[in-house]
Amino acid sequence: MRKLFVLYCYVTTCFCFGQNNPTIPFFKEEIKVDGNLNEAVWNQAQEFSGFYNFYPNDEGKSKNKTVVKMFHDGEKLYISAIYFDTTSKNNISTLKRDNHGGSVVHSDAFGVVLDPFNKENNGYYFTINAGNAQLEALIDFDGTDYSQNESWNATWESKTKVEGTKKIYEMAIPFKALNYDIANNTWGIQFFYRDFKIPLWMTYTDLARNYIQYDLRFTKDVVIENLPQKSASRFTATPSITYNYQKNVTDDTHQSVFTPSLDIQYNLTSSLRLDASINPDFSQIDVDQQVTNITRFAVNFPERRNFFLENSDLFNTLGTFGVNPFYSRRIGATTNMQFGIKLSGNVSSNTRIGVLNAQTEEEESNPAQNYAVLVGRQKLSDAFTTTAYLVNRQETDGFSFKNDYNRVLGLNFNYKSKNNKWSGQTNFGKSYSDGLKSDNNFFNIEGQYNTRETYFKGAFKSVDKNFIADVGFTPRLYNFDAINQQTIRESYLDSYINFQKRHYPKNSKTIDNYRYLYLENDMFFSSDGTLTESNTSIGNTIWFKKNLAAVYLYVANRYNNLKYGFDILGNGNPIQPGIYNDFYTFFGYNNSASNTNFYYSLRGTYGEYFGGKRYAAEVWTGYRMLPFANIAIEYKQNYIDLNNLGKETFHLLNFTGEVFFSNRLNWTTYVQYNTQRDNFNINSRLQWEYKPLSYVYLVVTDNFNKRISRQNWGVAFKMNYRFDF
C-alpha cells in the first residue's frame, strides 16, 4: 500500500512538472528537521531554482545555483534549500533570534516569503542564517510601501548544515502559525538567498533592485495540493512572571514588584484568531534606543508586546506618516493595562476584520480607561482596497462609562497598479471629543512612482486642530510654547514631494550606481495658508562596488515662521518667535554594508540653526567577532550656538556588546549616555530560550545623571513558558 501511495505521489508530481505549474505536493510523511535531507520524500518534491540576481546587481541569473524544494504533510510546510557555493566558508554576524540586521543583512542566509491569501496585502517572512539564527516577521502594506514587523513570533523548526561547498537549509513551518483561506490553495511565494561574502542578494522571481525582496507584488503563484481544510487546533497559552527590584539612591527608597501575566491565542478558523492578555508586561527586555531630538516634536518607538502584534498591520496602518490614528503604545503608557482581547484576521478571502478592546486601571490622578478599536478592510479589486475604522477611548468607573471620551472614525482607499510602478492612498478621518464638534477632520492623499531609475512620491495632508487622537500619534498637531509653558493645538497643511534619479554605469569597475538628482521638499502651512515651515534638501550619493560603500553630499534649507518659543538648550532662554531662514549642509561616508569584520559610517552637519550655528558629527562603528560576539559604538555630538541665548553641546553615546554562547543563550549589554536627557544608563541582559519562544531573562539596570552620579538601579527577573497545543 505504501508503494502505491509513493507511486501516486510520483505520478502526480511528474504531471505537475509536465504542466509547468509550480506545486507544493502533499505527502503524509513527517520528517526530522536535521539538515541532512536524506529522506526519500525530498526526491519527490518539486524543484524551485533558476534564481535571479537582485542586489547590488539585478541583471541576469545568479552565478551560484540555489535549489529549493517544498512539500507538506497536512500539518507542517517543509522547505529545503541548497546553495551551491564556491567555498565552505560562511559569514555569520549573529546567533541571536529576531535580529534582521545581523542574521539576514550581514550574514549568509536563506529566506522565504509567503502570501497565503495571494492578495498582496499582508504576508509572512521566515529566514535562517547559516548559524541557524531564526527570524520571523509579518509583512505589512502601509498604503504605498511594504514593511516588516519583526516583533511577531511563531514556533517553527529549522536546521543548517555545510557539506563541502554546499550550504543546506531546512525548515518546517506549522500551518497553525499562518492565517490562510481554506478555499484558496494558490499562495504567493518568494525565496531569496543572501551571500554576504560576495556580497549578493538573489531572488527566485526577477525584480529590480529598487524594490524590496519581500514586496508581495513579485511573489510567484504556487498551488498547494490537499490544503488542510480545517486548522489544526491552535491554542497557545504563555504565562509569565516578572520580579522587579528598584532602588532609588537619591531619596533612599526601594520597591519590589512581583507581576504575573498571561497571553492566550486561539484559532477560531484557519484565518481568524482570538488573542487575550491578562496583566500584560509593558516593560520590554530590549531597551528603547535613546536619541538626540533637536526638533520641536515628539518621536515614537515600536510596539513589542505580543498581544498587539498578531495582524498588527490592520491596526497600525490606519493613517500616514506623522498622523496615525492608532498607536498601541499609548495603551498602558500611564497606568497598567489590566486585560485585553482581540479578534483579527480574514472572514473571507477579500475581507479582513480587527476588533480590539483593552482596559487600564486607575492610578493616582490617572483615571481608568477603556480602549476599543474596530477595523474592516475590503479588497475591491486587484488594484483597490478600502479600510474603515473606529478608535475609541473612554474613561471608566468600575463597569460604567463616564462622559470623558475621544473617538476617531476614518475611511481609507489604497491603490496598487498592475505594472507594480504606481501605488497610492487616500485617508479621511474625523475626531469626536467631549465638547468639541468642529475643526476635527484629517485628510491625506499621496502617490508613489517607483522604477529602477526614477522614484517620485508626492503627498498632501490637512489636519484640523481638533483632530484629537488620544490613542494615536499626531506630534505636529501639538506646539509647546516654552515662553508661556503651555501646549497649543493648531491646524496645519502639509505638502511633500521627493524626486530621485539614478544611473547604473555598465562599464565602471569602481562605481556601482549614483543618484545624480535628489530633491525633497516638505512645506507646512497654517489653516489660513501662511507658510510656517519649509524643509528642502538637494544632493546626491555615489555607491561603490567594493563593499557597497556610499559617499553623499547634500545642501539644505530650513525656513521657520516660528510662532512659539522653543527651548532646545534647556537653559530657560527659549528661541523667540520670528522668521528664521537657515542654510546647512550634511555629508558622509557609509561603510556599514561591508562584509568585513570592521565596519563604520561617518556623518557631518554644518550650518545655521534658528539664527545661530549648529555643528554635528556622527560616528558609528562595529566589529564582528564571528559568530561569537559583536560590538558596536555610536557617538553623536551636536554643538548649538544661539548667540546671546546660550550654547550647548549634546553628547549621545550608544554602546552595544553581544556575546553568543549558542542560538539559545546570549548576553547583551547596552550603555547609553545622553546629556540632553541627563542620563547615563547601563542595561545588561542574560537571555536563555530554554524552549522555543519560552525565555528566562535576568536584567540589571543602572542609571546615573550626566555627571555620573547614581540615581537608581534595579534587577529584573522574567520567565515565561509557551504552551503550544
Residue 165 within any structural domain of the chain: yes
Percent of the chain with pLDDT over 90: 76
Determine how many CB atoms are found less than 10 A away from the CB of residue 503. 11
| Highest mean pLDDT, choosing among 54-63, 543-552, 603-612 | 603-612
Amino acid 16: pLDDT: 41
**What region does 101 belong to: left with phi over 0, alpha with psi -120 to 50, or beta?**
alpha
For range 118-145, the mean pLDDT:
92
Amino acid 282: pLDDT: 56
For range 415-440, the mean pLDDT:
92
Tens-digit pLDDT profile for residues 15-61: 444 445 689 999 988 899 999 999 999 999 989 999 999 998 899 99
| b/e sequence 193-227, b meaning 16+ C-beta within 10 Å | bbbbebbbbbbbbebebbbebbbbbbbeebebbeb
Residue 188 within any structural domain of the chain: yes
Tens-digit pLDDT profile for residues 228-243: 886 555 788 999 999 9
Residue 681, CA distances (Å) to 188, 348, 413, 700, 708 in order: 45, 49, 44, 11, 10
Residue 449 within any structural domain of the chain: no
Amino acid 233: pLDDT: 59
For range 547-553, the mean pLDDT:
93
- Start-to-end CA distance of the chain, whole Å, equals 31
Tens-digit pLDDT profile for residues 387-422: 999 999 999 998 899 989 999 999 999 999 989 899
How many structural domains does the chain have? 1
Q: Above 80 in pLDDT, residue 10?
A: no
Q: What is the sign of the dihedral through the CA atoms of 153, 157, 162 and 167?
A: negative
Per-residue pLDDT band at 12 (split at 50, 70, 90): very low
For range 658-683, the mean pLDDT:
93
CATH number, domain of 193, equals 2.60.40.1190
Three-class HEC string of 656-684: EEEEECCCCEEEEEEEEEECCCCEEEEEE
C-alpha cell at 357: 478592546
Tens-digit pLDDT profile for residues 68-90: 999 999 999 999 999 999 999 99
Using only C-alpha atoms, the chain has a radius of gyration, in whole angstroms, of 27
Per-residue pLDDT band at 285 (split at 50, 70, 90): low
Residue 41 within any structural domain of the chain: yes
Amino acid 130: pLDDT: 96
Percent of the chain with pLDDT over 70: 95
For range 92-114, the mean pLDDT:
93
Tens-digit pLDDT profile for residues 619-640: 999 999 888 999 999 999 999 9
Domain range enclosing 74: 23-224
Lowest-confidence pick of 118-122, 451-455, 536-540: 118-122
Q: Whole-model pTM above 0.75?
A: yes
Phi then psi for 382, rounded to 5 degrees?
-65, -25
Per-residue pLDDT band at 14 (split at 50, 70, 90): very low
| b/e sequence 578-605, b meaning 16+ C-beta within 10 Å | eebebebebebebbbbbbeeebbbebeb
Q: Taking a C-beta distance cutoff of 8 angstroms, is the pair 200, 246 a contact?
A: no
Residue 615 within any structural domain of the chain: no
**What region does 415 belong to: left with phi over 0, alpha with psi -120 to 50, or beta?**
beta
Per-residue pLDDT band at 9 (split at 50, 70, 90): very low
Distance of alpha carbon 129 from alpha carbon 196, whole angstroms = 10
Instruction: Please give the mean pLDDT across all residues of the chain.
Output: 91
For residue 538, what are the contacts with CB-CB under 8 A and spacing of at least 6? 518, 519, 520, 554, 555, 556
Q: Above 70 in pLDDT, residue 3?
A: no
Residue 597 within any structural domain of the chain: no
Give the three-class secondary structure for 477. Answer: helix
Per-residue pLDDT band at 485 (split at 50, 70, 90): very high
Q: Above 50 in pLDDT, residue 441?
A: yes
For range 159-177, the mean pLDDT:
95
Per-residue pLDDT band at 287 (split at 50, 70, 90): low
Side-chain half-sphere of 102: how many Cα atoms within 13 Å?
27
Pairing of strands 23-24, 220-224: parallel
Residue 402 within any structural domain of the chain: no
Amino acid 288: pLDDT: 65
Q: Taking a C-beta distance cutoff of 8 angstroms, is the pair 670, 681 a contact?
A: yes
Per-residue pLDDT band at 142 (split at 50, 70, 90): confident
Residue 64 within any structural domain of the chain: yes
Amino acid 286: pLDDT: 59
C-alpha cell at 370: 477603556
Q: What is the sign of the dihedral through the CA atoms of 97, 657, 194 and 169?
A: negative
Tens-digit pLDDT profile for residues 347-359: 988 999 999 999 9
